[in-house]
């Protein structure tokens, strides 16, 4: 075989490929140094280890508020902190995340780390984002939230196909590929008129179509494993059903977990006093909505947090 391949490998083309690979590796390394400057979300993700460390290594009781943009826009940690005076608190809300990202993130930053101990994790969610049927973003998982070790059991992080695994590995290996959405957005926003507006429209339409594709049943097997893993480290999990402008139902399996006391559930889907004027779009709260929701959440968290877990 080597004899056969020797000739093609000696060609100029093979050398060109090697030069290109070297250039790509150099560009990748450069991108790893400056990637936090490319987007606020990446910068936020890079602060996660320090945020967790800051609350998990002191003697006070600690709470990690986790979620995505729903929680980021809906929860003001200052308001919560003012109501829970003896609790150190951090808010970790990277965009577009769901069960699989949160599972990897918690495993890596909370469960496996011996230098941090957190008392409670509070996750804001909507729809079926905590269910097994939530779609995993393999690229995001590989690049930002999981380790290569997690690939040993791809199903446990929501990877269901060979394509998902390929995407995970490529994003893990190449920062350029992992951050392609950010780079694409930067370049196309410069050269294509109205790019942001039409991309936003397309994304919303796609999200709408995805929501319409309801699964027959929603299961919570992986979520339960995540809860068990946290409990083993003495961490209580509380989930918040966040409000959005359209109604959604809570899944029976999730309600069952709450009913048995396995998790705490705060249902803020119909938060009192919240109306359409307090949303900036179909799902994200504006500043007024955030304040109102945070005050109600603080009251409820105060009630739960005083009880021994």
Partner 1 sequence: MIFNSYVFWAFFAVVLFLYWRLPHRGQNLLLLVASYVFYGYWDWRYLGLLAVSTLIDFFVSNAIHREHDQRTRLRLLVFSIVANLGILGYFKYAGFFVKEFADLLGVLGFQANLPVLNILLPVGISFYTFQTMAYTIDVYRGVTKPATSLFDFALFVAFFPQLVAGPIERSAQLLPQLVKPRSLRSGDFAEGLYHILIGMLKKVVIADNLAPIVNRVFSTPAAELTSADVLIGVYAFAFQIYGDFSGYSSIAQGAAKWLGIDLSYNFKMPYFARSPSEFWQRWHITLSRWLRDYLYIPLGGNRRGPRRTYINLTLTMLLGGLWHGAAWTFVIWGAWHGLLLVAYRLVGVEKFEVRTSAWAAVLQAVLMFHLVCIGWLFFRADSFDQAIAMLAALGTAPALTDYAMYGAAMILFFAGPLMIYEWHVYRSEDMLLALRKSSWQRCAAYGYCLVMLLVFPPLVQQVFIYFQF
- Interface residues toward partner 1, by CB under 8 A: 1, 4-5, 7-9, 11-17, 19-20, 23-24, 161-163, 165-167, 170, 174, 176-177, 180, 183-184, 187-188, 191-195, 197-199, 202-203, 206
Nearest distance in Å: CB 190, partner 1? 10
Q: Is-contact 125 283, C-beta < 8 A?
A: no
Token pair for residue 151? 């690939």
Nearest distance in Å: CB 224, partner 1? 30
Nearest distance in Å: CB 207, partner 1? 12
Of 8 and 308, CB closest to partner 1: 8
Of 195 and 248, CB closest to partner 1: 195
Candidates 75, 79, 156, 159; CA nearest to 123 is: 75
Of 13 and 46, CB closest to partner 1: 13
Token pair for residue 36? 């936090």
Beta-bridge partners for 240: 124, 266
Nearest distance in Å: CB 163, partner 1? 5
C-alpha–C-alpha distance, residues 299 and 294, integer Å: 9
C-alpha–C-alpha distance, residues 281 and 293, integer Å: 16
Of 4 and 276, CB closest to partner 1: 4
Of 107 and 167, CB closest to partner 1: 167
Of 43 and 192, CB closest to partner 1: 192
Nearest distance in Å: CB 172, partner 1? 13
C-alpha–C-alpha distance, residues 39 and 43, integer Å: 6
- Distances in Å between the Cα of 69 and the Cα atoms of 40, 75, 115, 119, 244 are 12, 10, 28, 23, 12
Nearest distance in Å: CB 151, partner 1? 14
The pairing of beta strand 120-125 with beta strand 236-241: parallel
Of 208 and 234, CB closest to partner 1: 208
Beta-bridge partners for 90: 64
Of 205 and 228, CB closest to partner 1: 205
Nearest distance in Å: CB 184, partner 1? 6
Which residue matches tokens 């393999």? 138
Q: What are phi and psi of 193, to 5 degrees?
A: -65, 140
Q: Is-contact 51 88, C-beta < 8 A?
A: no
Nearest distance in Å: CB 23, partner 1? 7
Q: Which residues contact 178 (CB under 8 A, 6 or more apart)?
A: 139, 140, 142, 143, 144, 171, 172
End-to-end CA distance of the chain: 63
């Amino acid at each position: 075989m080597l004899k056969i391949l020797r000739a093609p490998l000696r060609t100029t083309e093979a050398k060109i490929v090697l030069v290109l690979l070297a250039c790509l590796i150099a560009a990748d390394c450069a991108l790893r140094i400056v990637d936090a400057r490319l987007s606020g979300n990446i910068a936020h993700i890079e602060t996660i280890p320090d945020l967790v460390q800051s609350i998990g290594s002191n003697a006070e009781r600690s709470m990690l508020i986790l979620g995505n943009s729903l929680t980021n826009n809906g929860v003001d940690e200052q308001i919560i902190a003012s109501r829970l005076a003896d609790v150190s608190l951090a808010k970790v809300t990277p965009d577009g995340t769901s069960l699989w990202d949160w599972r990897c993130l918690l495993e890596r930053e909370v469960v496996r780390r011996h230098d941090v101990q957190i008392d409670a994790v509070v996750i804001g969610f909507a729809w079926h984002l905590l269910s097994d049927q939530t779609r995993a973003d393999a690229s995001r998982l590989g690049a930002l939230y999981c380790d290569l070790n997690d690939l040993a059991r791809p199903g446990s992080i929501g990877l269901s196909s060979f394509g998902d695994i390929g995407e995970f590995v490529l994003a893990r290996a190449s920062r350029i590929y992992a951050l392609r959405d950010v780079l694409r957005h930067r370049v196309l926003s410069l050269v294509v008129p109205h790019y942001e507006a039409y991309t936003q429209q397309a994304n919303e339409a796609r999200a709408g179509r995805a929501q319409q594709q309801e699964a027959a049943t929603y299961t919570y097997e992986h979520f339960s494993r995540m809860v068990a893993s946290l409990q083993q480290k003495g961490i209580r999990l509380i989930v918040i059903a966040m409000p959005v402008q359209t109604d959604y139902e809570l899944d029976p399996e999730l309600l069952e977990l709450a009913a048995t006391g396995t998790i705490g559930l705060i249902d803020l889907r119909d938060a009192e006093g919240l109306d359409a004027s307090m949303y900036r779009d179909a799902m994200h709260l504006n500043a007024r909505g955030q304040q109102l929701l945070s005050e109600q959440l603080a009251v409820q968290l105060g009630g739960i947090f005083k009880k021994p877990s």
